[in-house]
């Protein structure tokens, strides 16, 4: 702003020495900004048209007055004192200020005040230039609102929440007090949204936001991360972990009760429940905001797993388990292409101790050489769907092995059993996949036995039976694994084209000492007989168990008594030597 830029030199407006300079000053004075010149005592001497436009006052109304008549009353008491202190000290001040127009409207303006000095360095005037920033401020506010607030609920969004969390974490006061982050997710929100429409969904979110706000104290923050996810930041809890946890339990119960109340959403009366995860932390302490959010999220997930409509606290062991699982899953995804899977074989023998078959058991050797037990990765493979490609690999590797044994004397008739997970079996093309594998490897299907668990029978029983029949028709055998631990109904068992029942090892383990296990095993064997099925006992570790099993009528055995699962060369040596 040219008129006010050179504060210490006597300004041209105060002492123009030529007519041209006067014209120039007058032109510049009628600039787009409002201009106001006062004397050294602050009395207004001159204003321009822009000033009149902005403030609504005519020159006659303000000349001789002080700029106080523009005061909005919005600023704290020390504001004007420090502004004048800066002018006296530096000869100028610049900043944003709230002023009041003649019509009473308070508006924001950018103000620049410069002192004008005479040759002796005495202040003769003050020149102020003012710009109405109502519009740019509104635009700024709009941008700020979009950047930091959720447009639907007007609650702070993730960015603002993380910002506040960062402030809390770096705060040096109240070190001893706990804070908490609560992650709140609405159960079944998606269903409500999909069935009643997004408008109804939005109304629910608005009411949830209101109920959350009214459940909290004034200083607490409630934010919406998006969708049906809300986060509450609570500060100033007790300094003891247990007391703080108790306070959050109470708050959690209050939130649960508030959000469980019925909702009136237009014409609909609805119910909605939340799952809440909470994590406690001290301010002035790591971890990072993102990590805290993740902890609360993990705890919320646990609340969902535990049946929803409840609250769970985060604990570190849980996080370690989750991180370990994530690593395992990642490694498992690459295990096949890295050729880390292998089949080990456990022999199955008849009453004379002669090998009549083997079970192929999957083994995973990680890059560091460690073996991962199937009990650790098969459930994960099932959860992630990886069991499908893995199961496919097992089927093909087993068929290839059967083919290879056709040229090994003593092993040609060996029946090889593989485990088939329920998910794998339920694939609509499972029958075709097995048939294709058998054909590709050119093996006798009667040498392949598929071990199914009772879980396969829980769903789509008609499809299961027809798929089994189709495979039985070409000679493939079936065994029902872990028999006795599931819920097989005798009615279904009668309809399944099974070859064999496999007595679960849990009944074999204590057979000698547990009379109820003896009753169970006797019953399974009787049932198998009545269904004309073969029976094999797994987990046979001692001769005493074998003898008892024989007395109870079982003629086929598998277990450490004969061999542990071993790589193929060892099985070959066991059978052929
Ligand atoms: N879907 C698939 N599941 C598979 C596959 N390979 C294995 N599995 C399943 O993983 C579970 C654990 O298997 P594993 O650690 O290999 O344990 C087997 C035997 O080693 C063990 N066993 C055998 N004899 C004894 C014994 O005398 N004592 C004793 N304590 N354990 C013994 O039992 C497991 C055999 O289980 P089963 O299949 O029920 O016959 C297990 O559930 C496997 O099914 C795969 O390729 N696909």
Question: What is the widest separation between alpha-carbon atoms in the chain?
Answer: 129
Task: Respond yes or no on whether the N-terminal peptide bond of residue 287 is cis (omega within 30° of 0).
Answer: yes
CA 30 to chain CA mean position, Å: 60
Q: What is the pLDDT of residue 33?
A: 87
Q: 494 CA distance to ligand 1 centroid (A)?
A: 26
ipTM of the complex: 0.94
Cα of 468 to ligand 1 centre, how many Å?
Answer: 22
Give residue 458 CA to ligand 1 midpoint distance, Å.
21
| pLDDT tens digit sequence for 479-534 | 998 887 766 666 678 888 999 999 999 999 999 888 888 988 998 899 888 889 99
Output the pLDDT for position 14.
42
Whether the Cβ atoms of residue 157 and residue 224 lie closer than 8 Å to each other: yes
Instruction: Please spell the DSSP secondary structure of 446-476, one letter per residue.
Output: GGEEEEE-GGGGGS-HHHHHHHHHHHHHTT-
Question: How far apart are the CA of 472 and the centre of ligand 1, in A?
Answer: 24
CA distances in angstroms from 2 to 7, 27, 30, 118, 290, listed in the order given? 10, 12, 12, 18, 49
Q: Which residues of the chain have pLDDT under 70?
A: 1-18, 21-22, 24, 172-175, 284-286, 318-319, 486-491
Q: Which residue owns the Cα nearest ligand 1 atom 47?
A: 419
The pLDDT score that the predictor gives to residue 173 is 57
Coil vs helix vs strand at 551: helix
Separation of 188 CA from ligand 1 center, angstroms?
Answer: 38
Compute the distance between CA of residue 189 and CA of residue 194 in angstroms, rounded to an integer: 9
Give residues with Cβ within 8 angstroms of 144, minimum separation 6: none
* Ligand 1 binding pocket mutation candidate from 374, 425, 485 (most atoms within 8 A of CB): 374
Residue nearest to atom 42 of ligand 1 (CA): 375
- C-alpha 517/C-alpha 176 separation (Å) is 57
**How far, in Å, is the centroid of ligand 1 from the Cα of 361?**
6
CA of 567 relative to ligand 1 center, distance in Å: 14
Q: What is the pLDDT of residues 196-248, one digit of tens each?
A: 899 999 999 999 999 999 999 988 999 999 999 999 999 999 888 888 888 99
Q: Which residues line ligand 1 (CB under 6 A)?
A: 346, 359, 361-362, 373-375, 378, 394, 418-419, 421, 451, 481-482, 505, 538-541, 559-560, 565
What was the pLDDT predicted at 323? 75
Q: Report the atom number in ligand 1 closest to the C-alpha of 346.
A: 23
CATH number of 141-316: 3.30.70.270
Pocket test for ligand 1, best of 538, 558, 566 (most atoms within 8 A of CB): 538
CA of 563 to the centre of ligand 1 (A): 13
Which of 361, 387, 389 is the pocket-test mutation for ligand 1 (most atoms within 8 Å of CB)?
361
Rounded to the nearest whole angstrom, what is the distance from the C-alpha of residue 426 to the centroid of ligand 1?
21
Q: Cα of 362 to ligand 1 centre, how many Å? A: 8
469 close to 487: Cβ distance less than 8 angstroms:
no
The domain spans of the chain are: 18-132, 141-316, 329-576
Pocket test for ligand 1, best of 344, 363, 372, 419 (most atoms within 8 A of CB): 419
Cα angle, residue 66 at apex, residues 63 and 72 outer, rounded to 5°: 120
Which two three-digit tokens encode residue 164? 């506040």
Q: According to the model, what pLDDT value does residue 319 have?
A: 67
Those residues with Cβ within 8 angstroms of residue 566's Cβ, 6 or more apart along the chain or in another chain = 344, 345, 346, 574
- Residue of the CA atom closest to atom 31 of ligand 1: 539
CATH number corresponding to 329-576? 3.20.20.450
Buried b (16+ CB within 10 A) or exposed e, 272-307: bebbbbbbbbbbeeeeebeebbbbbbbbbbbbbeee
Provide the pLDDT for residue 489.
Answer: 61
In ligand 1, the atom with minimum distance to the C-alpha of 418 is 46
Tens digits of per-residue pLDDT, 378-391? 999 998 899 999 99
Determine the atom of ligand 1 nearest the C-alpha atom of 504: 39
500 DSSP β-pair partners = 479, 534
* Domain 18-132 indexed as CATH 3.90.1150.10: no
**Full-prediction pTM beyond 0.80?**
no
């Amino acid at each position: 702003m040219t008129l006010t830029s050179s504060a210490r030199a006597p300004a041209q407006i105060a002492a123009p020495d030529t007519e041209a300079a006067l014209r120039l000053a007058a032109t510049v004075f009628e600039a787009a900004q409002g201009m106001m010149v006062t004397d050294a005592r602050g009395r207004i001497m001159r204003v321009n048209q822009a000033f009149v436009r902005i403030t609504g006052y005519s020159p006659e109304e303000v000349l001789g007055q002080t700029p106080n008549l523009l005061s909005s009353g919005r600023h704290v008491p020390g504001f004007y004192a420090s502004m004048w202190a800066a002018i006296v000290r530096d000869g100028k001040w610049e900043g944003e200020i709230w002023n009041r127009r003649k019509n009473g409207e308070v508006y924001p303006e950018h103000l620049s005040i410069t002192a004008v000095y005479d040759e002796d360095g005495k202040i003769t005037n003050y020149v102020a230039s003012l710009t109405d920033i109502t519009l740019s401020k509104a635009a700024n506010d709009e941008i700020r609102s979009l950047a930091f607030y959720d447009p639907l609920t007007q609650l702070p969004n993730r960015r603002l929440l993380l910002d506040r969390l960062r402030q809390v974490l770096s705060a040096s006061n109240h070190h001893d007090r706990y804070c908490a982050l609560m992650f709140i997710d609405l159960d079944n929100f998606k269903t409500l949204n999909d069935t009643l429409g997004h408008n109804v969904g939005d109304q629910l979110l608005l009411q949830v936001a209101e109920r959350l706000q009214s459940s909290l104290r004034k200083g607490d923050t409630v934010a919406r991360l998006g969708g049906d996810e809300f986060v509450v930041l609570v500060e100033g809890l007790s300094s003891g972990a247990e007391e703080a946890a108790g306070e959050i339990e109470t708050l959690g119960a209050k939130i649960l009760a508030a959000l469980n109340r019925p909702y009136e959403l237009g014409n609909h009366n609805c119910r909605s429940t939340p799952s809440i995860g909470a994590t406690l932390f001290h301010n002035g302490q790591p971890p990072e905001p993102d990590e805290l959010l993740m902890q609360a999220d993990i705890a919320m997930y646990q609340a969902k797993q535990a049946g929803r409509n409840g609250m769970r606290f985060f604990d570190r062991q849980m996080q370690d388990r989750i991180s370990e699982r994530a690593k395992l899953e990642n490694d498992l995804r690459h295990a096949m292409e890295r050729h880390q899977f292998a089949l080990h074989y456990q022999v199955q023998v008849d009453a004379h101790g002669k090998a009549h078959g083997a079970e192929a058991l999957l083994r995973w050797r990680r890059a560091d050489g460690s073996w991962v037990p199937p009990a650790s990765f098969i459930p994960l493979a099932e959860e992630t769907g990886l069991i499908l490609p893995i199961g496919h690999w097992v089927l093909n590797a087993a068929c290839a092995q059967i083919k290879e044994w056709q040229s090994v004397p003593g092993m040609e008739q060996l029946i090889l059993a593989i485990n088939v997970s329920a998910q794998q079996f339920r694939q609509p093309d499972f029958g075709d996949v097995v048939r294709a594998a058998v054909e590709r490897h050119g093996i006798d299907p009667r040498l392949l036995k598929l071990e199914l668990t009772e879980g396969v029978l829980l769903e789509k029983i008609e499809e299961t039976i027809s798929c089994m029949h189709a495979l039985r028709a070409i000679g493939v055998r079936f065994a029902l694994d872990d028999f006795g631990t599931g819920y097989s109904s005798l009615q279904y068992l009668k309809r399944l084209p099974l070859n064999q029942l496999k007595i679960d090892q849990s009944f074999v383990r204590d057979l000698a000492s547990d009379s109820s296990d003896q009753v169970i095993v006797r019953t399974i064997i009787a049932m198998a007989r009545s269904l004309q099925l073969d029976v094999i006992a797994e987990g046979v570790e001692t001769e005493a168990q074998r003898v008892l099993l024989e007395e109870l009528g079982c003629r086929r055995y598998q277990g450490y008594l004969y061999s542990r699962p071993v790589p193929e060369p060892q099985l070959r040596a066991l059978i052929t030597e």
